[in-house]
């Protein structure tokens, strides 16, 4: 296990370097660039633009800029945001707790929801309830977040006045736990609906495959109770493909919940990322992209290691 982990970690280094170089080049290939937002300012001149380019180091060749960036990163310095004039890592880390709160809650809801939905659908395959669940989950997958989000907002915040219309806390009251939860309900549910629908489909098909296999029949033949057969024998084996999907979903949700964050004014990383891209704020883009690459690479390693735990046939040595 340790050897496997060390080997995978070592393999991750060239992968991450490759990703960072590729993204650095792609980012600079985007038309516009960081100076575009200065162009329309009153009194801006070509000479002043050149001064600004020099301050940001944009007048150097791209490979030199990459080497400079990488050197900084190895010293723990991702540079200063061109727009906000604060360290890019600081900006990212300030948003991280909000992301954690939203993503983990939505994920938690989705895990419970998708297992319930998936198992239910698999056990009662082709029953009327299975069809109902299938239709609901297609609906959940097909419904665009920007539409569902606004719909829930209008219903619960505007018409019913049950829940706040956005943000993480009410600014007027002290941020009590209840207040935080009230703010969390709508965005977390919006995000969870798609996840439940998608993951629920995976759980259902994985379960269907497993409950027809010989060892489940054997377990039943041994006279084991239905509950033990389902939870101990079937589910554990069905989890293998599901775990991969779920873990990668969490990784993608960090920085990927942009639409939900926008609708509910949730101060997460996704919004920061989109703003950084439109403003061509290179240091912030690179900081977030690097962070996400690390999260995704590690999520893959974690998923691989979980296989070993779930399935004794998978040997990690």
Partner 1 sequence: MGEFEEPDTLNPIAGPLMFFAQEVQQSLFANLFTLQPNGSLAPDLATVVPTTANGGISANGLTYTLHLRSDAKWTNGKPVTSEDVYVTYQLETNPKVKVASNLGWNDVASFKTISPTEFQITLKKPDQPFLATVFTQTQPGIVPASVFKGMSAAQVNASPYGHDPTVTDGPYKFVSWQPGAAITVTRNPLWFGTKPKIKTIIFKIIPSTNTLLTTAEANGLNVFAGVPIQNVPQVQKIAGSKLYYANSSLFEMIYTNQRNPILQDVRVRQALEMGINRAAIVKTLLGGRGTLLAADQSPASWGYDPNLKPWPYDPAQAAKLLTQAGWVMGSGGVRQKNGKPLSLVYSTTSGNTTREATQRLVQTWLGKIGVKITIHNYEAAALFGTILPSGQGWDLAEVAYNDQAANPASPQANFGTGGSFNWGKFSDPTLDHLYAEQATMTSQSQRQPVMFQIEKELHTQLPALWLYSPQSIDSTFNMTGYQPNPWMQDTWNVQDWALTK
Q: How far is the C-alpha of 201 from the C-alpha of 119, rounded, in Å?
A: 10
Which one, of 213, 306, 243, lies nearest residue 115 by Cα?
A: 243
Q: Does 216 bind partner 1 (CB under 8 A)?
A: no
Nearer to partner 1, 234 or 287 (CB): 287
Find the part of the chain contacting partner 1 (CB under 8 A) among 94-102, 106-114, 208-216, 240-248: 94-102
Q: What is the DSSP string of 39-61?
A: HTSTT--HHHHHHHHHHTTTTS-
**Closest distance between partner 1 and the C-beta of residue 286, in Å?**
17
Residue with tokens 């991969």: 244
Work out which of 53, 58, 143, 157 binds partner 1, going by CB under 8 A. Answer: 157
Q: Does 280 bind partner 1 (CB under 8 A)?
A: yes
**Closest distance between partner 1 and the C-beta of residue 19, in Å?**
24
Q: How far is the C-alpha of 287 from the C-alpha of 289, rounded, in Å?
A: 6
**Closest distance between partner 1 and the C-beta of residue 104, in Å?**
18
Nearer to partner 1, 150 or 216 (CB): 150
Nearer to partner 1, 118 or 149 (CB): 149
Contact criterion met (CB below 8 Å) for 276 and 290:
no
3-state helix, strand, coil in the chain (%, to 5): 75, 0, 25
**Closest distance between partner 1 and the C-beta of residue 146, in Å?**
8
Work out which of 32, 57, 108, 225 binds partner 1, going by CB under 8 A. Answer: 32
Size of the site for partner 1 (CB under 8 A): 56
Contact partners, residue 304, CB within 8 Å, separation at least 6: 4, 8, 316
Q: Does 25 bind partner 1 (CB under 8 A)?
A: no
Per residue, the 3-state secondary structure of 56-121, as one string, reads: CCCCCCHHHHHHHHHHHHHCCCCCECCCCCCEHHHHHHHHHHHHHHHHHHHHHHHHHHHHHHHHHH
Interacting residues toward partner 1 by CB under 8 A: 30-33, 35-46, 48, 51-52, 55, 80, 83-86, 91, 94-95, 98, 150, 153-154, 157-158, 161, 164-169, 171-172, 262-268, 271-272, 275, 278-280
């Amino acid at each position: 296990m340790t050897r496997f982990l060390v080997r995978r970690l070592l393999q991750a280094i060239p992968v991450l370097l490759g990703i960072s170089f590729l993204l650095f080049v792609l980012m600079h290939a985007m038309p516009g660039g960081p100076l575009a937002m200065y162009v329309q300012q009153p009194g801006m001149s070509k000479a002043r633009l050149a001064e600004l380019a020099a301050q940001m180091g944009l007048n150097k060749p791209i490979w030199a800029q990459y080497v400079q960036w990488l050197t900084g990163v190895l010293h723990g310095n991702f540079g200063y945001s061109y727009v906000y004039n604060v360290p890019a890592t600081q900006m990212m880390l300030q948003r991280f707790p909000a992301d954690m709160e939203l993503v983990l809650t939505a994920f938690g809801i989705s895990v419970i929801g998708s297992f319930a939905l998936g198992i239910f659908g698999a056990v009662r395959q082709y029953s009327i309830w299975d069809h109902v669940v299938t239709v609901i989950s297609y609906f959940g997958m097909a419904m665009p977040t920007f539409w569902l989000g606004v719909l829930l907002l209008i219903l619960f915040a505007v018409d019913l006045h049950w829940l706040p219309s956005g943000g993480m806390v009410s600014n007027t009251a002290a941020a009590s736990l209840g207040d935080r939860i009230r703010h969390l309900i709508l965005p977390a549910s919006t995000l969870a609906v798609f996840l439940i629908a998608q993951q629920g489909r995976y759980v259902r098909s994985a379960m269907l495959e497993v409950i027809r296999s010989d060892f489940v029949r054997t377990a039943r033949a041994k006279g084991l109770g239905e509950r033990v057969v389902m939870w101990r024998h079937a589910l554990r084996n069905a989890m293998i493909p599901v775990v991969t999907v779920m873990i990668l979903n969490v990784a993608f949700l960090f920085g990927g919940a942009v639409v939900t964050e926008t609708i509910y004014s949730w101060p997460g990383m996704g919004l920061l990322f989109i703003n950084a891209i439109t403003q061509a704020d290179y240091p912030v883009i690179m900081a977030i992209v690097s962070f996400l690459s690390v999260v995704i690479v590690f999520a893959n390693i974690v998923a691989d290691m979980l296989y070993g735990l779930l399935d004794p046939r998978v040997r990690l040595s």
